[in-house]
Structure 1
Amino acid sequence: MEEQSVTAPLIAAEALVFTAVAASGPVQVLRGVDLSVAAGEAVGIVGPSGSGKTSLLMLLAGLEKPTGGRLVVAGQDLGAMDEDRLARFRRDNIGIVFQAFHLVPTMTALENVAVPLEFAGRRDAFDRAAAALREVGLGHRLEHYPGQLSGGEQQRVALARAVVAEPRVILADEPTGNLDRATGAAVMDLLFGLRTRMGTTLLLITHDPLLAERCGRQVKIEDGRIVSDTAAIRMAAE
């Protein structure tokens, strides 16, 4: 009988623990999270404020290090990396879209999007950045500064920056939180469209149940633990 090949998950968290340091002392934010995400999957992460959703994304991005457990993303153990290796890991694998746009105000839209490619030593950084901005409908705004753009346009610049290097994983933390409903819907259409075209894995934090459902899989976090996962529910039903 032939053996079936098993593809390793792109993201694998095992008993993941994260303790933050607050003025009042250490606070355990994540309390033993187990999560497996396949390449190309879209996952909506939901739960009340303060439940640990953003901390989980910070760990996945290598912006924080686990206090305990194990976290492997794209075949790399993030807990075993130093800051330089984590920076290279982010550059090569991760695109991040935050609620706040985090654009450099003294750089044009084109320069903001080209930054990650310049760090990677890409000679075609500005050509690719221009193409990414055209893809999100901002080909006419290349030389504008963030202060000259609307909120929706700034978030589209941030989205172009997140996907310009064609990352394996996009992490989006309430990306429409600062936008009106119509503008937010347009930005999310762009995000899902880009994700489908590139086959990128997407983890999206949202309080909008319709956006979470659009991901196809929803993971709910409460008090630092995963309390429900529709992937597990589907497997049980099968």
Structure 2
Amino acid sequence: MPRNSVSTTGAVQPVIDINDVTLTLGASSGEVNILRGISLQVNPGEAVSVVGPSGSGKTSMLMVIAGLEAASGGRVNVCGEDLRRMSEDKLALFRRDNVGIVFQGFHLIPTMTALENVAIPLELSGRRNAFEAAAASLEAVGLGHRLGHYPGQLSGGEQQRVALARAFGIRPRLLLADEPTGNLDGKTGQQIIDLMFGLTAEHDTTLLLITHDPALAERCGRSVHMADGQLVDSVENPVEPAAAL
């Protein structure tokens, strides 16, 4: 599907288009309403931050948008596809081809080198030059000299750079980032954020970013605020041009 899809009316289709989404999970004490009628649209190339207190549903919303958690109700359209109509296998293929995800934890495979961690998803997507593309992606995040190192041999900042290289290796239409600097010190976190914004600008990637950091949230063009499983506010932010790589 084209990166900037256009509908039959000539309007650009949102990359994220969710409407009245609910998520109810069972618990020993009864059902818990995690998301209570969330509606959000994010257009191609837009950067949107999601802020709010812990337990407000931010990560749950991201998981629904990624197709990693099935919504209980509502519409979940991402990159022009109706995720609620997809099987688990189709959702996995959809993520493989369209969505990069970066978590607070780095989620690297400890027994694989940096190069292998980035190359494996590319191989699974059928890229015949997977290792060459992975090396180029690691070079782009400043780790061309660390291809053969294992996660345990890398600093936290370097591990998150590998995670970014893996996420951008597929040239995703959408990047979902959940507190990507949460495990890093301030200086290293700033470097990772500058790199992430530079890569999204370079590849025209739409960004949905969960953060507790007000200054980081304001680097996105729009901030949405969550509380008690609902979106309660949306603010446009004046933003500086993306930092150069």
TM-score by length of 1: 0.94
- Separation in structure 1 between the aligned mates of residue 125 and residue 26 of structure 2, nearest angstrom: 32
Q: After superposition, what is the alpha-carbon deviation per residue over 1:195-221, rounded to whole angstroms, capped at 9, x for unaligned?
A: 000010000000001110001100001
2:26 aligned partner, one-letter code: V
Deviation at 1:117, TM superposition (A): 0.5
Q: After superposition, what is the alpha-carbon deviation per residue over 1:16-64, rounded to whole angstroms, capped at 9, x for unaligned?
A: 0011233333211100011011011000100000000000110111101
Partner of 1:144: 149
Partner of 1:116: 121
1:190 and 2:195 are equivalent in the alignment? yes
Partner of 2:54: 49
Q: Secondary structure at the match of 2:21?
A: strand
Q: Secondary structure at the match of 1:36?
A: strand
Q: Secondary structure at the match of 2:218?
A: helix
2:187 aligned partner, one-letter code: A
Which consecutive residues of structure 2, in runs of 5 or more, have no partner in the other structure?
1-7, 237-245
1:210 and 2:215 are equivalent in the alignment? yes
Rate the CA distance shift 1:23–1:115 in 2: closer, same or farther, 3 A: farther
1:175 and 2:180 are equivalent in the alignment? yes
2:69 aligned partner, one-letter code: E
Partner of 1:83: 88
Partner of 1:26: 31
Identity rate, percent: 63
Alignment size in residue pairs: 229
Q: After superposition, what is the alpha-carbon deviation per residue over 1:42-90, rounded to whole angstroms, capped at 9, x for unaligned?
A: 0010000000000011011110111000110011111111101100110
Q: Secondary structure at the match of 1:121?
A: coil
Could you say which structure has the higher helix fraction?
1
Which consecutive residues of structure 1, in runs of 5 or more, have no partner in the other structure?
232-238
- Separation in structure 1 between the aligned mates of residue 50 and residue 25 of structure 2, nearest angstrom: 20
1:115 aligned partner, one-letter code: I
Q: Secondary structure at the match of 1:96?
A: strand
Deviation at 1:229, TM superposition (A): 0.8
